Chain A
C-alpha cells in the first residue's frame, strides 16, 4: 500500500498537464459502436446524446474511463493483442498498450480511484491462467502483474476501499481461435484481491454449476452482482445472476419459471443502480430486472440489447440497432436512437 501510495503521490507532484472530462463535454457514458463499416468510440450524455465519436481501428470489446483525465482505454476483442488509450478531447490515440510476450488482454480494465494505475484482465496465452496487468498511466508503461486467482479472467471491479474483485470465467481458450478447451473441467470463481494484489477470498459455485462461466460484474456497495454464461446443456434452466457478499457464500438468483430460458443461458452485461440490477442477453433479446436482493421484477424484450450501465438518473441500456433506453421496472423508455450499432458494453463514468 505504502509503495503504491507513494507512487501516486509522485505522479500528482509531477504536475503534468491534464485535461479533464469537462473538456470532452462531461459524458456520462462511453460506448463503442459500428457505424456503417467504421468503428467508433462515443461519449454519451445521460439523455443519450453523443458528445463525440472517435474512430477506432477495429471492433472493440469494453472500455475503461480514466476517473479524472479525458482518457479512455479501448480494449480489443478477445484474444486481445492491443488496447488503445484515447484522448477524448483531441480524438487521438495517446498510447497503444501491448501485453507482454505470451499474454493476451481479455477485454476489460479498470483504473484506481485517482487514476494513477490501470489494471487489465489478461491471460497467459497458453493455458489461459489469469493475470492482472498493471500500468502506470502517465506514460502507460507496464510496471507489473498479479495472479488473478483463476483461469480466464474477464470483467473486474474495484471496490471503494481499493480491493479488486475479478470474475475468473474458468474457460481455457485456444490463443488463436478462441475455441474452448476445458468445458468438462472448468471451474469459474470470484476472486477478491487486496489493493496490493494478494488473494483475500475466493467464491465458487456448486459443482453442478461448474459450467456457468462467471464473466461480468456490478457493484452494490461492497456486494457483488455477477452475471454468468452457461456452457452446459441449453435445455437446463440455470440462473444467470448471482450475488456475493465477501465473507459469505454466493447465492443464485433465478428468474421466474416462465422466463427461465429467456436469456438463452447467456448474460452479456450487468449493471446495478438505485436498488435494481439489470442483466442483458443479446441472443435472448431481453433485459431482466431484479431487485437488490436478487428477486426477479421484470423482463423487457428488445432485440440485440447488450450494453447496460448505471447513469446519474438510473440504469441505461444500449442495443445493436442504435437504441438507448432508460431501464425502469415498468419497461424500457426510449431516450435516443442513433443510426449505428452499439457494441457489447456501455461504460459509466464516475
Chain B
C-alpha cells in the first residue's frame, strides 16, 4: 500500500483538532481561526507558482510581485482614500510584474531564476526609494459574517468572520483546481509545462499560453500583496513580505504543484504559526522571539529537504521553448 504523507497529515490534524477542541473549544477555535490569515498569503503566493510552473515558467519573483503590489495597493489606497481602488491597483500592479516576467523569460528567454531574482531586487529598490512615512489607509477590509455557513457548529466560527479578500482567494484556489484539471485551458497549460512541442503541434500556442498564465499569476500575486496591505495588516513597511514568496515556493512543491495540495500545505504552515503564537501567549513555552521568527524559514527548508527528489516537477520547467527545434 502506498503511504501518502498528505493523508497522514490531514487525518492526524483532524484528530488533534478534535482532542484540543474537547479540551478547550474557544482557544482551539481561535487558533485555527488565526491560522487562516497566516495561511492565505502563502496559499495565494503558492498559486502564483503553480500557475507559472504548470506552464513551464519558474517564478522566483513572487516575493517581489507581492511586495510591489502591496506597496501600490497601500499607498494609492491611502492617497485615494479608497481601499477598493487600492485593491484594484494592487492587482493591476501584479499584472504588470507578471508581464515583465513574461517578457524576460518567454520573449527574451532569460534565465528564469535570474529574471525572478531581478524582479525581487527591483521591487525592493523601487519600494524603498518611493516609501514615505505617515500614510494611512481609511480602514482595512472589514470581516464578513458568513450567513448559514457561519452558524455551523464547530466549523462556523473558524470559517466565518474573515475579510473579503480571504474568501475571494479561497474561491480562486478551488476554481484554479477545477480549471487546471477539468478544462481545456488546464489540459493545455499542463501540456505546455510538460512537453511544449506536443501542445504546439496540436495547435496550442506555447508562447501565448505562457504569457497568459504568467500574467494572470501576476494578478494573483497582486491579490496576495494587496491582502497583506489592505486586509491583514493595514500598513506597509519596507520589505514586509518577509520571505513569504519563497516559503510559497516550498509550499507549492510540497503540494505537488496541485492547488488543493498547496492550499493544504499552506494551512499546515499557518496552523504551525498560530499554535506557536498561542503557546507563547499561554506562556506554555518560553522561546525567544527570534526563534519564533525563524520557524517558517526552518519549516520551508525542512519541507524542501523532505519532498525534493520525491516529487516530479513539470518536465519543461525552466526551459525556454524553441519552436524550430521540434
To the question of whether A and B form a pair in one complex, the answer is: no
